Amino acid sequence: MNILVINCGSSSLKYQLINSDSEEVLAKGLCERIGIEGSQITYQPAGGKKEITVSPMPTHTQAIKLVLDALTDEKKGVIKSLAEVGAVGHRVVHGGEKFTASTRITDEAIAAIEECNELAPLHNPANLIGIRACQELMPETPMVAVFDTAFHQTMPEEAFLYGLPYEYYEKYKVRRYGFHGTSHSFVSKRAAEVAGKAYEDLKIIVCHLGNGASVSAVKNGKSIDTSMGLTPLEGLIMGTRSGDMDPAIMEYIAKKENLDIAGVMNVLNKKSGVLGLSGVSSDFRDIEEAADAGNERAIKALKAYNYRVAKYIGAYVAAMNGVDVIAFTAGLGENGNTTRKGICEYLTYLGIAINEEANNVRGKDIVISTPDSKVQVMVIPTNEELAIARETLALV
């Protein structure tokens, strides 16, 4: 079956058409600047070249229509008609406590997703727009919602409760949810396969280090803790997000800089992290280049980043009373060999030793620890689209 995977943002939409039998990507691409002047669609069939077309996309429905037109185009298309799309899998950011797993999209499911909008006001409404647009254009095609939060719904109360008045949890659902669940699930399962051991018998720490970044503790096949919280702002120092900090800083900075809450949130989400620390960029390639050239703030940013990841790994070793496998994934986790090395230098107390040669390999599942390392350290490229396609197939 061919499964269309849709990841819909407020002004952009990523898509992949995946054959679920071979797990091959038949075509993929991106619509950008939806609803804004200068919208364009990128389309790339398997083995073919990437094509960018400027085309007006006043709405998401129009964007999805362009995607479907490209997929079924006589010349560059990869399918003859929409009848060849067996199902659509939608990425949905927040499933709150309502969704502990992926779900078939029905009117009730849509209403329940809507109820989670408040928890992710930037993401969920956009995800719903994508769902509705697909329903309009493919009313007969079964659809599935795959949630970023669902995998972490196994977290025990002691891990998800904040030290706040309990009624905020009862009344407003203020608790830790965690994100990147599709990736943490995919990578931890794959890590168990690479280790050649049963998923249910392992203690795995997954470090998803991308522009957004989170660490998770997966014990016996279940997420028992993760570094992101009510929103994706908590936890690690990220590209532009602060991660953990003393909440009193908010009032202090608001007074000093004459900012309101929205202004402070903007700083914490968009101007902090390694961008704010280094003053160079949110992209680690730029920061590493600056650090190599002797830029002191870039060096400080990289050190603070590695330290925070190592601290979380230590916390999760404590939470699971041990660790068998540590897996790195996402843009930086997969490509940043110096970052991985820098983090693992804090972990010699766990008996971890890194094989430098393996650590320099790119683009595949690989064990980067030495054979006598007490904990296996791996790089496992994540594939959220494939994970969404698999979930979708399972439910249709």
Query: Mind telling me the catalytic residues?
Result: 148
By the rule CB under 6 A, 303 interacts with ligand AMP: no
**Least separation in angstroms between CB 243 and ligand AMP:** 15
Of the two residues 100 and 211, which places its CB atom closer to ligand AMP in the complex?
A: 211
Closest CA relative to residue 143, chosen from 130, 124, 158, 154: 130
By the rule CB under 6 A, 330 interacts with ligand AMP: yes
Of the two residues 332 and 386, which places its CB atom closer to ligand AMP in the complex?
A: 332
User: Residue 205 and residue 324: Cα distance in Å, rounded?
Assistant: 8
Closest CA relative to residue 43, chosen from 22, 11, 72, 7: 72
By the rule CB under 6 A, 273 interacts with ligand AMP: no
Of the two residues 176 and 208, which places its CB atom closer to ligand AMP in the complex?
A: 208
By the rule CB under 6 A, 211 interacts with ligand AMP: yes
**Least separation in angstroms between CB 334 and ligand AMP:** 8
**Least separation in angstroms between CB 9 and ligand AMP:** 13
- Using CA atoms, how far residue 298 sits from 235, 295, 390, in Å, is 20, 5, 40
Residue nearest to ligand AMP (CB): 331
**Least separation in angstroms between CB 210 and ligand AMP:** 3
Helix intervals (H) in the chain = 60-71, 107-115, 124-137, 157-160, 166-172, 181-195, 248-257, 261-270, 273-278, 284-292, 296-320, 330-335, 337-344, 356-359, 384-395
By the rule CB under 6 A, 283 interacts with ligand AMP: yes
Of the two residues 47 and 363, which places its CB atom closer to ligand AMP in the complex?
A: 363
User: 284-292 vs 296-320: helix axis angle to the nearest 10?
Assistant: 120
By the rule CB under 6 A, 335 interacts with ligand AMP: yes
By the rule CB under 6 A, 280 interacts with ligand AMP: no
Site stretch for ligand AMP (CB under 6 A), options 3-11, 229-237, 280-288, 343-351: 280-288
**Least separation in angstroms between CB 152 and ligand AMP:** 18
> Are the CB atoms for 380 and 187 separated by under 8 Å?
yes
> Are the CB atoms for 207 and 187 separated by under 8 Å?
no
Site stretch for ligand AMP (CB under 6 A), options 34-42, 84-92, 282-290, 297-305: 282-290
By the rule CB under 6 A, 271 interacts with ligand AMP: no
Task: Provide the 8-state DSSP code for 369.
Answer: B
Of the two residues 61 and 278, which places its CB atom closer to ligand AMP in the complex?
A: 278
What is the spatial order of strands in the sheet that 2-8 belongs to? 51-54, 40-45, 24-32, 13-19, 2-8, 85-92, 143-147, 103-104
What are φ and ψ of residue 238, in 5° steps?
-115, -165
Query: Tokens representing 334?
Result: 């997969």
Task: Tell me the site size for ligand AMP, rule CB under 6 A.
Answer: 11
β-strand partners of 92: 147
By the rule CB under 6 A, 336 interacts with ligand AMP: yes
By the rule CB under 6 A, 239 interacts with ligand AMP: yes
Of the two residues 211 and 370, which places its CB atom closer to ligand AMP in the complex?
A: 211
Site stretch for ligand AMP (CB under 6 A), options 64-72, 87-95, 226-234, 328-336: 328-336
Of these, 160, 177, 284, 305, which contacts ligand AMP (CB under 6 A)? Answer: 284
By the rule CB under 6 A, 181 interacts with ligand AMP: no
Residue 35, phi-psi category: left (phi > 0), alpha (psi -120 to 50), beta (remainder): left
β-strand partners of 45: 27
**Least separation in angstroms between CB 91 and ligand AMP:** 14
Task: Summarize as ranges the residues that interact with ligand AMP (CB under 6 A).
Answer: 210-211, 239, 283-285, 330-332, 335-336
